[in-house]
Amino acid sequence: MWKERGEAFVNIHTHRREGEIYILDISDGKESREGELCSYGLHPLYIRGEEQIVQLEVFARESRIVAIGEAGLDRNSEVTMEIQIRWMEQEILLSEKYGLPLIIHCVRAYPELLALYKKFHPRQAWIIHGYNNNKEILGQLLEHGFYISVGKKVFIEQSNISRFLSFIPRNRLFIETDDSDFPLEKVYEETARIREMSLEELKTGVYGNFQQVFGRREV
């Protein structure tokens, strides 16, 4: 059981099996393994329709997932923003109904995302994955209680997340690999370097956040 592993490298969002504790996105049809922590959601670039929502609720009801995601909004999607918002609202309702955090993909749609947060006043954690936007939006997200997950962009010196990483409170930070080839431990090491903290301090903080958000889930 992950609850007995102590402070470990936590990978909050990945499409590969990497990390002592990881949450694997199975939205692309991957088969989950026994005891594996998984997420499933309607990625805004790949929305097909009603069957995805039906599948999502089956997974949620049967406790086959510990989070809903990637859910979200993306202005680069061929799916209209109106439709994206409609499906995102369904995912929010299921998140609240089954007590599942949301792992969120958001591209150029933060006003709409914040509007949804204010509309639903969710009790479940909302985690922005792969954040790489400006300081103003980061401040708004933190003000509303979002968690921020960082990944491969920390290796780009002039990226937004590298510049503003130190502004994320320790109790709101997660680490991920997403679909990148960067080893999880290297993402941790670079994040710790930028934040001027030890690797062990970072691991302890992220693991504590993981326990806070997912500690009540039995898998």
Binding-site residues sit at 70, 105, 129, 178
* Buried-state track 40-65, b at ≥16 Cβ within 10 A, e below 16: bbbbbeebeeeebbeebbebbeeeeb
Cα separation, 165 vs 122, whole angstroms: 25
* Buried-state track 71-81, b at ≥16 Cβ within 10 A, e below 16: bbbbeebebee
Binding residue numbers for a divalent metal cation = 70, 105, 129, 178
Nearest one of 149, 116, 112 to 132, comparing CA atoms: 149
Strand, coil or helix: 36: coil
